[in-house]
Amino acid sequence: MAAEERGRADFVRVVAMLDDPDPIVRAGGVMELPELVADPPSDLVARVVLLSDDADDEVRDAACFVLGTQWDQRDSPALRKLVLGHLEGWADDGAPDALAEAVRRLTDPAGPGDDLFAGVAELHRRRSRDEDESDVIGWWRLMDRMLDLAPHRGHEFLDGTDRHLEGDPAAGRWLREQSALASLVAATEA
């Protein structure tokens, strides 16, 4: 069987999973779709949007995750509203709003937010001076969550943070040479 025929067979198999009575199978099918289709047609997006209102929590979560992070090039205001509305129920290590905020910022056409870069820059400024960072660590937690979802955006986050450290060469050097953010960026480039 040729690779193209195998790919088509896999696609048909996974799409059939979306209608399975077992929610684990439906959720699994949704999560497999981005591996098979990078730029989904509108009818496939519509099927996944319908699953974002599934009776099962795991199916809803899988659909929202795929729509909000894997197929983010299909962004629209209605789709963003749908995804953010469903995210309210997700658990995220005791901070249910963290995932929703991460997805909101990652899908915002205006970008992740200058306040995020400023907050992470302040954290790194304090770390470079060995000062208390407890009141700004939340900015790193949010950025770290965003990088879990979109590691390919690490360079953008590193550059945005670095812009807020202009005029503070020691903190900028610490950011580029010793920070976890710099390590994450280096690991995605390797």
> pLDDT confidence of 95, banded at 50, 70, 90?
very low
> pLDDT confidence of 4, banded at 50, 70, 90?
low
Give, in order, the Cα–Cα distances in Å from 97 to each of 63, 90, 103, 132, 158: 18, 8, 10, 25, 24
pLDDT, tens digit, for every residue of 36-90?
Answer: 888 888 788 888 888 988 999 899 889 888 887 777 666 555 566 666 665 555 4
pTM for the whole structure: 0.54
Q: Residue 1 pLDDT > 50, yes or no?
A: no
Predicted local distance difference test score (pLDDT) of residue 173: 93
pLDDT higher at 112 or 93:
112
Torsion, Cα of 66, 67, 70, 72 (10° steps): -170
Pair of tokens at residue 111: 């970008």
Exposure string of 25-61, with b = 16+ CB inside 10 Å and e = fewer, is: ebbbbbbbbbeebeebeeebbebbbebbebeeeebbb
User: CB within 8 A of 157, min separation 6: which ones?
Assistant: 112, 116, 117, 120, 143, 146, 147, 181, 185
CB atoms within 10 A of CB 138: 13
Q: Residue 94 pLDDT > 70, yes or no?
A: no
Predicted local distance difference test score (pLDDT) of residue 103: 81
Pair of tokens at residue 169: 């060469």
